[in-house]
Structure 1
Amino acid sequence: MPSPFDAPVLEPHLGTHAPNHQDDICLEISRSAMAWRGVVSALTLIYLISILVDLPWMIFHTDPTDIESILLLVGMYSLFSWSIIILFRADLAAPRDLPIRFNRARKKIYAYNFKRQWWNPFDKGKIVVVSYDWSQVRAERWSQNGSLPNGGLIFKWGVTLSIIAPGTNNVIDRFPLVTMGADQHAWAYICTYMQEGPSALPPPGEPKDHNDVLWCEFALRLAPRVVWPTEMDLESRTAP
């Protein structure tokens, strides 16, 4: 995709989303840890209830003298427990938002990233906040397709930001910019902002506080709030 200093060739826009914040110094855009948060938790809760309903019947019909059946039952419900915790963690552990800030005055970006081992039910994950010079940023478009068990197709796409070491093409970090959604147009929006300022962009929609969620968004209400480190929060929003 075009470099940070190339003129965008696509219309700059963020799709259906508006920036969290936009002024002459700083642009902050929102990123979601996963699409349709809350759906996974709701389905997992139904899954858990169905398992608990069946558990007494399984115990009652298991011969206590049959070691093989007991081991099979214990192994099966251990696997159920592991998968349930994994699914709940996937939906609830990540913060309410994973914002990225682009500072025109400092020519830097600040990313609020979240990392965890998805397979580890005891890993709550951790926030990794990073800062890089704008000249180190490169955008890479990706796409992925596959087939579902019922014969249907699934197709995903997005844009990843790669960070290169100064003076080289060696990638030292990577994190997502957008998944699905505005795709390359979001990169065009950011480059236009960094090169020409907010006056070159269409008027942004109503800004959104990523910690302000609706009462019905129970997964987001249970998720950790976004809390930037104090010094980086101030630096990312102000001029030198």
Structure 2
Amino acid sequence: MLFKTPLLDKPAPGWKRDLPGPNEPPSKEPYPPVLTNPPNHVDDVYLELARATVRTRGVGAWLAPFLLLISLIPPATWIDSIASGASFPSLAISVALLFASIAPLWLGIYIWRMDTSAPRDEPIRFNRARRKVYVYRFCHNGLKPFSRSAWGARAEVYDWDNLHAEACSIYGAMGSGGLIETVTLAVLEPGTYKVIDRFHFAHELQQGEMYWAMAQLFMQQGPQALPLFPRPPRDWNNEKIRFNLARRLAPKVHWPEAIDLESRSVPSLHG
């Protein structure tokens, strides 16, 4: 069932429609030829799907040095003005030059880190035996471009029954511009429509709905309900990367040992 008015408090930015809940019938049948990636892994215990917060990578890594060079022009102009014996720049001009230097410097560092700090994959695991979802998330903070703690990957665990998928559509100035369509997953307070967390699930509505349908089918019926994919899974950590600087510098996926073991196993009979 697709809902015409938002169910959640608050809906995602650019909300377009709510997708069926975790235990409801899927809205679409997965069709492998139109899906970008096959599952990373699927067996009787868990399904792992590839995921990426940053859709297009490689441009920012080459654009960042250019922006950093631009950030040097205002201070060089200020110094040259003083060295040439001209009058000392006014406060207004000095502030303007400072802003003209900081803006490209911040933007250059931000797009460099967005391009090179995101892991090669941000997989999401659906454990049918535990009814848990394990998300490898890339965290970033544009207000702290030099911070180590504010940037990087972390693994988070959610209850399957508390997830809710939303189709979103917003106009953005980055990438190809124009309309940007995504599917996001909201984490709800148990038994309510109150959102306590939200994260990106997939780019493009058609693919996002199909990947969500795959998760639903797996969690509801098991791996036999999933379609067969004509090509093998992609080895994100060991793929051969030649010309994409951002992907060459990107960290490999490394799940915390305890979460990695838990996400791939069934509950213990004694715990």
Query: Which residue number in structure 1 is paired with residue 81 of structure 2?
Result: 62
Query: Percent identity at matched positions?
Result: 37
**Kindly tell me: are residues 172 and 153 of structure 1, through their superposed partners in 2, closer, same or farther at Cα, counting changes over 3 Å?**
closer
Alignment of 1:75-154 (within 5 A): 75-124=99-148, 125-145=151-171, 154=178
Query: Which residue number in structure 2 is paired with residue 22 of structure 1?
Result: 42
CA distance in 2 between counterparts of 1:137 and 1:82 reads 35
**Kindly tell me: are residues 122 and 207 of structure 1, through their superposed partners in 2, closer, same or farther at Cα, counting changes over 3 Å?**
same
Q: Secondary structure at the match of 2:169?
A: strand
The residue identity in structure 1 corresponding to 2:219 is M
Q: Secondary structure at the match of 2:106?
A: helix
8 Å CA contact retained: 1:145, 1:155: yes
Check if 1:212 corresponds to 2:238: yes
Alignment of 1:147-166 (within 5 A): 154-166=178-190
Q: Secondary structure at the match of 1:98?
A: coil
TM-score by length of 2: 0.76
Deviation at 1:90, TM superposition (A): 1.7
TM-score by length of 1: 0.85
Check if 1:185 corresponds to 2:213: no
Query: Which residue number in structure 1 is paired with residue 56 of structure 2?
Result: 36
Residue number among 246, 251, 257 corresponding to 1:224 in the alignment: 251
CA distance in 2 between counterparts of 1:220 and 1:153 reads 22
Structure 2 gap ranges (5+):
1-18
Deviation at 1:235, TM superposition (A): 0.8
CA distance in 1 between counterparts of 2:89 and 2:195 reads 53
CA distance in 1 between counterparts of 2:113 and 2:70 reads 19
Give the count of matched residue pairs: 235
Deviation at 1:153, TM superposition (A): 6.3
8 Å CA contact retained: 1:86, 1:120: no
CA distance in 1 between counterparts of 2:185 and 2:79 reads 55
CA distance in 1 between counterparts of 2:152 and 2:76 reads 40
Deviation at 1:162, TM superposition (A): 1.2
8 Å CA contact retained: 1:90, 1:118: no
Residue number among 11, 19, 26 corresponding to 1:8 in the alignment: 26
CA distance in 2 between counterparts of 1:38 and 1:57 reads 29
8 Å CA contact retained: 1:158, 1:178: yes
Structure 1 gap ranges (5+):
none
8 Å CA contact retained: 1:13, 1:188: no
CA distance in 2 between counterparts of 1:133 and 1:71 reads 51
**Kindly tell me: are residues 126 and 50 of structure 1, through their superposed partners in 2, closer, same or farther at Cα, counting changes over 3 Å?**
closer
8 Å CA contact retained: 2:164, 2:188: yes
8 Å CA contact retained: 1:41, 1:219: yes
CA distance in 2 between counterparts of 1:171 and 1:75 reads 37
CA distance in 1 between counterparts of 2:237 and 2:263 reads 18
The residue identity in structure 1 corresponding to 2:121 is D
Q: Secondary structure at the match of 2:61?
A: helix
8 Å CA contact retained: 2:71, 2:103: no
Deviation at 1:24, TM superposition (A): 1.7
CA distance in 2 between counterparts of 1:130 and 1:57 reads 46
